[in-house]
Structure 1
Amino acid sequence: MTAYDAIVLAGGAAKRLGGADKPGLRVGGRALLDRVLSACSDAGTTVVVGGRRPTVRAVTWAREEPRGGGPLAALGAGVRHTEAEHLLVLSADLPFLGADTVGALLAAAGLGDAEGAVCTDGDGRDQPLVAVYRAEPLRRELALLAAEHGGLAGLPLRLLTHELRLSRVAADPLASFDCDTWEDIASARARIREHGSVLDEWITAVKNELAIELDVDTAVLLDLARDAAHGVARPAAPLTTFLVGYAAAKASSDGGGAEAVAEAARKATALALRWADETETP
C-alpha cells in the first residue's frame, strides 16, 4: 500500500447536535474518532485537528486558527505536521469507514496525473473529507487560497477541490456516512447492531476497551463454546472460553500470539468432545 499520513478534522461546532462533543459520541461502544483512527491505523503520522482527548492510538494534535475557522483552516493546520507524499483527509464522524476504502482511495490517487482521489456517496456526490490528496498540490492550493483571501478561515472546501484534478472512488455507500444529527447517530447505532455485523462490532469494541491487538478466529471460539455447552453444561461455555483466553495469554508471553489461542481452543474442544463421549452408552 502507498505510504501516507492522515489528517482527521475533529474540531467542528456540531451545531446540529446541540454543540455535543461529536468526536466523542459512541457508536457500537467506540467513540466516533476512535473508529476513524482504526480505519487508518497504518498511516505514518496521524494528525487530529481538534481538542485533545484520549484516543485508541497515539496521534499528533493540532488546532486551527482561529478555532472554529472551518475545514480549510483545520486542513491547513494539519498539513504542517505531515511529511508523506499522500495525505488521507477525513472527518471524525465516519462510523463505517474501513481500511478497504482507504486503500481504494490511495490506489486511485496514485494513477496518472491525478492530484488526489475523493470518495463519492450513494448519490454520486463528492465527499472531500473522505479523500486522499497529493501533498504538493494540496499545499500549493492552500497557500494560494490563503494569499488570495487573507487566510483560510471560513472558506468552503469547494474552493480547494475545484482546483485539483481528482479521481472519483465509488466505495461502499456507508463509507462516507457521517453523523451530523442525532437521527444519524441513532441510525448508525441501529445499523451496528444488525445481525450480520453485531458480533464483529462487539469483538472489536471489547478488544479496543481492553487494549488488545490480537486477531483471533472467532469461529473457533464459538465452536468451542457450543461444544462445551452441549457436551458438558451451558455454564461451561463462558467459563471454558475464559480459561482458554487465560491459557493463551500465558503462552503469548512467550511469543505465541494468535497461534496460542488456536492451540488452547483446540485442546479444550477435544476435551469437551471426550467429555461428551463418556455420557454415551457403549
Structure 2
Amino acid sequence: MKLGQDWKPGVSVMPPTRPQKPPTRVQFLDEAVSEARSVVQRSPAWGYLAERGVSPYTALVYGLGYGIPVPRVSPEIISAAKQSLMVRSDGTWLWTGGVVYADPPIHPTVMNVRYIPEEQLPGGTRSFKPEKNHKTWGVRTRPLGSWRIQPTTRTVIVLEGLFDMLITAQKIHQLGRDADTVAVYTNGASPAAKMKQWFSQHNEFEYVLFSDPDAAGEEWTDTLTTCIQAGGAQVCAFKPPDHLDPDEAILKGWWPSIL
C-alpha cells in the first residue's frame, strides 16, 4: 500500500451470540409471597411441614408460605411473575401446592418451592404434574439462607436442600448457637458458578458440610471443599449414618460432636 492511500480495515466476523434471557423479576414478588405466608398455617403445607419435622417456630422464622394456584395480586405482580416464568398459560402459578421459600424473605432474589405430594392436597389443587419435587426461580449468586449470617457468625453449615437446611437451623436454635452458627443450602448437588465463587471469596468462616448419602453427594462435597480451600478457609465434611439424608439423621438424634 502506498503512503497516503486510504486504508480500510478488513471486515471482521463477529461470533454468534445467544439471545439474552429476560431479566428475572423475582424481587418484585413480595406481595404474592405475603399472601402465601398469610395462608400457610391453614393450608396443606402446615401438616406437611410438621410431618417433615419442621416446627412452627422454624417455619415462621424462615417465612415459609403455601403456593396458592392463583394469588390475588396486582397486575404488575402477575407481570413480574410471568417474566420470571412462574405462571402457566392458564394463569396458574407453578408454585401451586408447594411449600414456598423466598430468599431473602424481603425482596427475594431466589424463589424455591418444594412440592407437596399430590395425595396430600385437596382434589384439583394442582392442574399440572411437576417434573421434579422442587423448582427454583431467580439468580443464585450465594448460598440460600445466607441472609441469616451476622457479624458474630463463625461457623457455616452447608447442605444441599431446603429441608436439610431447615432441620439443621432448627437444631442450631435448640442448641442456643444462633449467634455463631448458620445453616445454608446450595439448592441441589450442582451449585451455580457464582455460588461456588461466593464460597471461595468468604474465608472468614469455618465451613462444615453435611452431604447426602449418594454419589452426587460425594461429588458435591468434593466440589465445595475445593472452592472453600481455594479461598483459604477451613472445611470439614460429614456423611450422616445409615444412608440417611441430613434432615432425617438429625431428627433421629445424629449431630457431629465437634459442633
Task: Please report the TM-score for the alignment, with normalisation by the length of structure 1.
Answer: 0.25
Name whichever structure is richer in helix by fraction: 1
Q: Say which structure, 1 or 2, has more relative contact order (CA 8 Å, 6+ apart).
A: 1
Instruction: Please tell me whether Structure 1 or Structure 2 has the larger radius of gyration of its CA atoms.
Output: 1
Task: Please report the TM-score for the alignment, with normalisation by the length of structure 2.
Answer: 0.27
